[in-house]
């Protein structure tokens, strides 16, 4: 009965895992994040020209490539302009949680990130992002006459579902190629500081973590030591044909004597403390004079050259 229950639990966990994986695969990495239509004094492109722009955000924690995608814009029903993002540009690979900015200036010959259409804010503007299979990935509609000059229609936060107008106030400013909302502080740290002004809770928590880790290490080494001794004892019992564990304990099979531990400790101490003999490294070469003897000379063993 227990095996049947365990099988059902494993099957349910596997189904949940496959379902979650399917949901993650269906969720697009690249989404539309911010759109600015009338650019008078805002961000400039690499040519120094101020044009309308569309920001794409990679909401995943892995890189995503925009090559082969389509940007489509429509201001009137049935009138849709399409821009194919060319392949072969390394800059189309958007890094995790980063942005890509496309200039809607109608000048595609200026580079990969310059589209063949422009934006018109006098009518409702629909912007769509399609993948290489021409499947709709994300879309947004900017209502007519909603944006003034240098104002953008953006998500409240990166990848959030709500959109708002940015640039109308100081706390909501236009953010091309960066996060839609930046934080000047750390809310979690500030909240913790309010609840623990003297830092007593932090100190107790840190010391508790350290002591808990030490206790875990002690338990692990304790069990590892016992397991190692037990394995060595069993091997020694097999080699000496001893079956009684009490006899093996009396003979201390598998246990190293204290002299071995002392020798190991002394060797480790000498290695760490550099306690060893320092020998003289100066070499002295002394010339040794030997008395000449014809018996050891090779010239006498050679034949003389005959005289002509």
pLDDT confidence of 297, banded at 50, 70, 90? low
Q: What is the SS3 assignment for 238?
A: helix
pLDDT at 102 over 70: yes
pLDDT confidence of 90, banded at 50, 70, 90? very high
Q: Which of 11-20, 95-104, 245-254 has the highest mean pLDDT?
A: 95-104
CB 104 within 8 A of CB 52: yes
pTM: 0.56
Topology given in CATH for the domain delimited by 30-182: Immunoglobulin-like (2.60.40)
pLDDT at 15 over 70: no
Domain ranges of the chain: 30-182, 200-273
Q: What is the SS3 assignment for 122?
A: coil
- What's the mean per-residue pLDDT of the chain? 82
Least confident segment among 9-18, 228-237, 246-255, 289-298 = 9-18
> Please, where are the H alpha helices in 89-242?
187-195, 200-239
State how beta strands 64-65 and 52-58 pair: unpaired
* pLDDT (0 to 100) of residue 23: 38
Report the pLDDT averaged over residues 236-246. 77
**pLDDT over 90 for what percent of the chain?**
44
Least confident segment among 27-31, 56-60, 117-121, 210-214 = 27-31
pLDDT at 272 over 90: no
Instruction: Check residues 20 and 234 and name the one with the higher pLDDT.
Output: 234
* pLDDT (0 to 100) of residue 140: 95
Cα 200-205-210 angle, rounded to 5 deg: 130
Kindly state the DSSP code that residue 295 receives in the 8-state scheme.
Answer: G
Report the pLDDT averaged over residues 17-38. 72
Token code pair at residue 13: 């966990």
pLDDT at 260 over 90: no
Kindly state the DSSP code that residue 198 receives in the 8-state scheme.
Answer: S
Q: Which of 81, 90, 131, 136 is nearest to 111 (CA)?
A: 90
Report the pLDDT averaged over residues 289-298. 64
pLDDT confidence of 289, banded at 50, 70, 90? low
Report the pLDDT averaged over residues 67-85. 91
Q: Which residues pair with 53 in a beta bridge?
A: 36, 103
State how beta strands 99-104 and 125-130 pair: unpaired
CB 122 within 8 A of CB 144: yes
* pLDDT (0 to 100) of residue 164: 93
The C-alpha atoms of residue 192 and residue 84 are separated, in whole angstroms, by: 49
pLDDT confidence of 10, banded at 50, 70, 90? low
pLDDT at 18 over 60: no
Kindly state the DSSP code that residue 102 receives in the 8-state scheme.
Answer: E
pLDDT at 294 over 80: no
75 contacts: CB under 8 Å, gap ≥ 6? 120, 123, 124, 125, 126
Residue 141 phi/psi, 5-degree rounding, is -120, 120
Buried b (16+ CB within 10 A) or exposed e, 257-268: eeeeeeeeeeee
Least confident segment among 43-47, 91-95, 205-209, 221-225 = 221-225
pLDDT at 157 over 60: yes
Report the pLDDT averaged over residues 50-64. 95
The C-alpha atoms of residue 112 and residue 175 are separated, in whole angstroms, by: 21
pLDDT at 26 over 60: no
């Amino acid at each position: 009965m227990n095996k049947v229950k365990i099988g059902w639990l494993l099957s349910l966990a596997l189904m949940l895992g496959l379902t979650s994986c399917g949901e993650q695969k269906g969720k697009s990495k690249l989404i539309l994040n911010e759109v600015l239509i009338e650019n008078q004094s805002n961000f400039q492109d690499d040519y120094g020209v101020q044009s309308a722009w569309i920001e794409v955000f990679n909401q995943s924690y892995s890189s995503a490539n925009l090559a082969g995608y389509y940007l489509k814009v429509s201001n009137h029903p049935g009138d849709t302009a399409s821009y194919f993002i060319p392949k072969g540009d390394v800059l189309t690979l958007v890094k995790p949680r980063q942005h890509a900015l496309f200039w809607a200036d109608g000048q595609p010959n200026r580079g990969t990130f310059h589209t063949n259409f422009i934006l018109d804010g006098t009518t409702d503007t629909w912007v769509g992002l399609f993948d290489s299979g021409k499947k709709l990935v994300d879309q947004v509609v900017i209502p007519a006459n909603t944006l003034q000059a240098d104002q953008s229609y953006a998500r409240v936060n990166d990848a959030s579902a709500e959109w708002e107008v940015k640039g109308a106030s100081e706390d909501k400013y236009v953010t091309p190629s960066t996060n839609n909302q930046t934080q000047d502080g750390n809310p979690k740290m500030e909240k913790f500081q309010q609840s623990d002004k003297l830092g007593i809770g932090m100190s107790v928590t840190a010391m508790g973590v350290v002591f808990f880790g030490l206790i875990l290490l002690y338990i692990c080494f304790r069990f590892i030591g016992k397991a190692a001794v037990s394995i060595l004892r069993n091997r020694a019992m097999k080699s000496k044909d001893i079956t009684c564990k009490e006899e093996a304990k009396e003979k201390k099979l598998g246990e190293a004597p204290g002299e071995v531990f002392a020798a190991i400790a002394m060797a480790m101490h000498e290695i760490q403390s550099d306690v060893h003999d320092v020998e003289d490294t100066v070499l002295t070469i002394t010339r040794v004079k030997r008395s000449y003897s014809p018996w050891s000379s090779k010239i006498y063993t050679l034949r003389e050259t005959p005289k002509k």
